[in-house]
Structure 1
Amino acid sequence: MTKVTCTNLLLIFFLGGRRTHGDSVTQMEGQVTISEGALLTINCTYSSTSYPTLFWYVQYPGEGPQLLLKAVKANDKVSNKDFEATYNKEATSFNLEKASIQESDSAVYYCALGDTVAETAGGAEHKL
Structure 2
Amino acid sequence: ARMFSATHSVLVICLILGGTNGDSVNQTEGPVTVSEGALLTLNCTYQTKYSDFYLFWYVQHLNKAPQLLLKGLTADKKVEHEGFQATLVKSDSSFHLQKRAVQASDSAVYYCALSDTVRKGCRGS
Query: Secondary structure in 2 aligned to 1:117?
Result: coil
Query: How does 1:20-39 map onto structure 2 within 5 Å?
Result: 20-39=20-39
1:39-70 deviation digits (Å, cap 9, x = unpaired):
00000000011132000001111210110000
Matched residue, 1:110 = 111
Q: Percent identity?
A: 54
- Structure 2: which 5+ runs fail to align? 1-6, 120-125
Alignment of 1:88-127 (within 5 A): 88-118=89-119
* TM-score (ref. length: structure 2): 0.82
Residue 71 of structure 2 corresponds to which residue in structure 1? 70
Q: Distance in 2 between matches of 1:15 and 1:103?
A: 19
RMSD: 1.6
Say which structure is richer in helix: 1
Rg larger in structure: 2
2-structure distance, mates of 1:68, 1:34: 19
1:30 CA drift (Å): 4.2
The reply on whether 1:9 has 2:20 as its aligned counterpart is: no
In the alignment, structure 1 segments of 5+ residues that lack a partner are: 1-6, 119-128
2:44 corresponds in structure 1 to 44
What is the total number of aligned residue pairs between the two structures? Answer: 112
* Mapped partners of 1:32, 1:106: distance in 2: 10
